[in-house]
Amino acid sequence: MEGACIAKVVASKHPNYRADELYMMMGSWQDYVILDPGVKKEGFSAIKIPRGVPPYVFLTLGTDLAAIIGMLDIGRIKKGDKVLISGAAGATGSVAGQIAKARGASVVVGIAGGPYKKSLLTSQFGFDEGIDYKNENVQSRISEIFGSSGVDVYFDNVGGKMLDDVLGNMAKFGRVILCGQISQYNNKETDSVEMKHITDIIAKDISMRGFLGMNHLTNPFIILYWIYLFATGKLKHVIDSRNNFDNLPDCFVGLFHGVNTGKLIVENDLS
Ligand SMILES: NC(=O)c1ccc[n+]([C@@H]2O[C@H](COP(=O)([O-])OP(=O)(O)OC[C@H]3O[C@@H](n4cnc5c(N)ncnc54)[C@H](OP(=O)(O)O)[C@@H]3O)[C@@H](O)[C@H]2O)c1
């Protein structure tokens, strides 16, 4: 299994890499690895983490950039938009809400599972309202909050029935940002979801677009905007840190059951 990780150099025969330096890279679920620093993994070389910068920043970078690219490039968010975000208490969704606020959205609403996550949306991440999809009727809560004018921008991390429920409540010329479909990744071919509101896409002139963050990194504004938000303290992260790589499989599967709040990371102390 591979993913973004931070690794410490234990020993090096390369003049540019020294023991105890930290690097962010695409890595596997393993305790030790022998690396040729010239070799790229998934298109990325290892990036040295400067002293004084908290290492977690380099792990939240990917999901932060997905939130920024989604809101700005794909959703073309503008001042006054009414915004809805699913998976809102997770790594990507919690930042997407903050980006929407920073860009002048008039209302930002998040959907998350359970009363604790719902309360966190307003108390920690600056959302105006939360919807607890495990205990509330999503469709009626959306129409209660957004009224007949509907949702201008929907940032979708979940897909499936939740996406269909939101499609039925979109505004004319609304934009749907397909960032993720976490409710659908483990579906078998036979687990089809009935999409009742597809015709709303035509009737309301809605645009719906998916994206992969890594395909949009050539836009320098995205990185500069992230640096600006980070440097001015405008981004708030909740880091959900677990111990021991032996727990990696459980933590990974847990993402599909909502065990995490904010960015889930697993630390392995080999000392
Ligand atoms: N397009 C891109 O470039 C890009 C980049 C990064 C991530 N993503 C996507 O963005 C989404 C979020 O990723 P993340 O890394 O930030 O994870 P995350 O949101 O930190 O964690 C996943 C969260 O999804 C929610 N969830 C899981 N199963 C669900 C279901 N059946 N229905 C509703 N909610 C469910 C859970 O929260 P609750 O407790 O609220 O259910 C869980 O905590 C994923 O779909 C991921 O694939 C896309």
Whether the CB-CB separation of 53 and 47 falls below 8 Å is answered with no
Model pLDDT, residue 16? 87
Q: Which is the closest atom of ligand 1 to the Cα of 213? A: 3
CA of 179 to the centre of ligand 1 (A): 9
DSSP string, the chain: -EEEEEEE-----STT--TT-EEEEEEES-S-----TT--BTTB--EEPPTTS-THHHHHHHHHHHHHHIIIIIT---TT-EEEEESTTBHHHHHHHHHHHHTT-SEEEEEESSHHHHHHHHHTS--SEEEETTTS-HHHHHHHHHGGG-EEEEEESS-HHHHHHHHTTEEEEEEEEE---TTTTT--TT-----TTHHHHHHTT-EEEE--GGGGTT-HHHHHHHHHHHHTT-----EEEEE-GGGHHHHHHHGGGT--SBEEEEE----
Model pLDDT, residue 192? 82
DSSP string, 190-241: T-----TTHHHHHHTT-EEEE--GGGGTT-HHHHHHHHHHHHTT-----EEE
CA of 87 to the centre of ligand 1 (A): 5
Model pLDDT, residue 91? 98
Model pLDDT, residue 26? 86
Query: Which candidate, 129, 75, 67, 72, places its Cα nearest to that of 98?
Result: 67
Query: Which candidate, 34, 28, 41, places its Cα nearest to that of 2?
Result: 28
182, 261, 264, best to mutate for ligand 1 pocket (most atoms within 8 Å of CB) = 182
CA of 57 to the centre of ligand 1 (A): 19
Q: Give Cα separations from 30 to 225, 247, 266 (angstroms).
A: 34, 12, 12
What residue ranges line ligand 1, CB within 6 angstroms? 63, 66, 87, 89-93, 112-113, 117, 157-158, 179-183, 211-213, 255-256, 258, 260, 264
Q: Report residue 257 as tokens.
A: 């059951």
CA of 35 to the centre of ligand 1 (A): 31
Q: Give the pairing of strands 47-48 and 82-86.
A: unpaired
Q: Which residue puts its alpha carbon closest to atom 29 of ligand 1?
A: 183
Q: Which is the closest atom of ligand 1 to the Cα of 70? A: 1
CA of 119 to the centre of ligand 1 (A): 18
Q: Which residue puts its alpha carbon closest to atom 7 of ligand 1?
A: 63
Q: Which is the closest atom of ligand 1 to the Cα of 112? A: 40
How confident is the prediction along the chain (271 residues), in pLDDT tens digits per residue?
888 899 999 999 988 899 999 999 888 888 998 887 777 776 678 889 998 888 899 999 999 999 999 999 999 999 999 999 999 999 999 999 999 999 999 999 999 999 999 999 999 999 999 999 999 999 999 999 999 999 999 999 999 999 999 999 999 999 999 999 999 999 887 778 899 999 999 999 999 999 999 899 888 999 999 999 988 988 999 999 999 999 999 999 999 999 999 999 999 987 7
Distance CA 102, CA 238 (A): 18
Whether the CB-CB separation of 177 and 75 falls below 8 Å is answered with yes
CA of 100 to the centre of ligand 1 (A): 18
Whether the CB-CB separation of 114 and 135 falls below 8 Å is answered with yes
CA of 180 to the centre of ligand 1 (A): 7
Domains delineated in the chain: 2-59+246-267 (3.90.180.10), 61-215 (3.40.50.720)
